[in-house]
Structure 1
Amino acid sequence: MSDYVYPSVLTIAGSDSGGGAGIQADLKTFAALGCYGTSAITALTAQNTQGVSSIYGIPAGILSGQILAVLGDIRPSAIKIGMLYNKEQIESVVSALIQYPGIPVVIDPVMKATAGQNLIQEVAIPAMRDLLFPLVTLITPNLDEASILSNMTVTNEQQMQDAAQEMLKTGCYGVLVKGGHLKTETLCNVYADGAGLIRKYFSSRVETANTHGTGCTLSSAIAAYLALGEQLDMAIERAGIFVQNALIAGKNVKTGKGKGPLNHFFAPTPLIKRKLQ
Structure 2
Amino acid sequence: MTSTWRRLSDRLAGKTEPEPLWADGIPDHISVPIREWLWDVLQSYGMTAPVAVRLKLPSRILESRDPNAALAHLDDRANPMLRLDVIDATLGCLQQALQRAPAYQRQAALSAIRQLEGILREGDSAFTVSQDYGGLERRIDETLHASYDKAVESGASKAQAAAEHLRAAFSEVYGIHPDPSAAYSRAIKAVEAVANPLFLPNSPEPTLGAVRSTLEQGRNKYEMVIADRRGAPANIDAVVAMISLLWHGQRDRHEGGPTSAPVSQEAAEAAVHASAVLVQWISTGAIRKK
**TM-score bracket for this pair, using the shorter chain length:** under 0.3
Larger-gyration structure (1/2) = 2
Q: TM-score, normalising length from structure 2?
A: 0.25
**Structure with the larger strand share:** 1
Q: TM-score, normalising length from structure 1?
A: 0.26
**Structure with the larger helix share:** 2
